[in-house]
């Protein structure tokens, strides 16, 4: 158990509404990531964080923002959700010690934007 939880696990919302997904870790790892998974596209990186208040963009960052005010929480926000953001969102943490380089994934958050 990598000590990573995502919430909510399922959410249905309407176009134009704001949505925030939360990723929580208990391992105190430095790096955290948000990916989205879509059929035919695999996993694509949205944003990642390498420390408190330190974040960077990934491949598909448009329409998303993130915040990390404390080590254990990494929030992904869709300011105004669109149907193209319907997806499964995975949070991951990167092992700092021992199993270096390995990412541990949460169970995913399925978001449907109507």
Nearer to other proteins, 27 or 31 (CB): 31
Contact 33, 48 (CB under 8 A): yes
54 binds other proteins per the rule CB under 8 A: no
- 31 lines the binding site for other proteins (CB under 8 A): yes
- What distance in Å separates the CA atoms of residue 26 and residue 5, rounded to the nearest whole number? 9
| Ramachandran angles phi, psi of 38, nearest 5° | -135, 145
3-class secondary-structure state, position 83: helix
Q: Is 101 in the site for other proteins (CB under 8 A)?
A: yes
112 makes contact with other proteins (CB under 8 A): no
- Sole window of 21-29, 36-44, 61-69, 71-79 interacting with other proteins (rule: CB under 8 A): 36-44
């Amino acid at each position: 158990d990598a000590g990573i939880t995502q919430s909510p696990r399922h959410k249905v919302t309407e176009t134009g509404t704001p949505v925030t997904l939360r990723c929580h870790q208990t391992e105190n790892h430095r790096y955290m990531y948000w990916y989205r998974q879509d059929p035919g596209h695999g996993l694509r990186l949205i944003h990642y964080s390498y420390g408190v208040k330190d974040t960077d963009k990934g491949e598909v960052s448009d329409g998303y923002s993130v915040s990390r005010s404390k080590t254990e929480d990494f929030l992904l926000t869709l300011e105004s959700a669109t149907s193209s953001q319907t997806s499964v969102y995975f949070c991951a943490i990167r092992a700092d010690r021992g199993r270096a380089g390995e990412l541990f994934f949460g169970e995913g958050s399925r978001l449907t934007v109507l």
